[in-house]
């Protein structure tokens, strides 16, 4: 078995479509897909990221890392991997990112991962996913 990350990238058009899609409809389609992955035994982790407008970018181009509000200015910059940290605040995550070994010219974008607790707890797909997370020790 090999692990793969499915990275979803949006265009302006797809984001506009997503914003206009009813939240329950989005939960239904995502919930069905997540449940299929769970039933097949292939789901390791599934997390959406908070809006990139709330991110922080640490730029390693200079001698000292420079921190700015995110997201990246260029959408062509490729995602190369991520660390998932369990920290108390965005500022603590920034401090870790500033200490991270990095290739000069690279950037780290820091975004909060919403908790399952932030979704409607009476939605059947959220209930199914919560049960799976509890079974697998993720909650």
In a domain, residue 6? The reply is: no
pLDDT of residue 14: 66
Residue 62: partners with Cβ closer than 8 Å, 6 or more residues away: none
Q: Is 130 left (phi over 0), alpha (psi -120 to 50) or beta?
A: alpha
| Neighbour tally for 60: CB within 10 Å | 19
Instruction: Give yes or no for a contact between 34 and 43, defined as CB atoms under 8 angstroms apart.
Output: yes
38/68 same-domain check: no
Whether 42 is in a domain gets the answer: yes
Domain of residue 125: give its range: 12-48+119-135
pLDDT beneath 50: ranges in the chain: 1-3, 76
In a domain, 7, yes or no: no
- For residue 4, is it within any domain? no
Q: What pLDDT is attached to residue 2?
A: 42
Q: How confident is the model at residue 70, as a pLDDT?
A: 74
Q: What is the pLDDT of residue 20?
A: 84
């Amino acid at each position: 078995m090999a692990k793969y990350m499915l990275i979803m990238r949006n265009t302006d058009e797809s984001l506009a479509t997503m914003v206009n899609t009813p939240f329950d409809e989005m939960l239904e389609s995502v919930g069905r897909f997540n449940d299929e992955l769970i039933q097949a035994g292939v789901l390791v982790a599934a997390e959406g990221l908070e809006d990139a407008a709330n991110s922080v970018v640490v730029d390693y181009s200079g001698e000292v890392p420079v921190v700015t509000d995110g997201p990246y200015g260029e959408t062509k910059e490729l995602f190369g991997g991520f660390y998932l940290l369990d920290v108390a605040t965005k500022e603590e995550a920034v401090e870790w990112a500033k200490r991270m070994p990095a290739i000069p010219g690279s950037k780290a974008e820091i975004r909060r991962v919403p908790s399952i607790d932030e979704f409607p707890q009476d939605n059947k797909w959220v209930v199914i996913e919560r049960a799976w997370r509890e079974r697998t020790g993720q909650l």
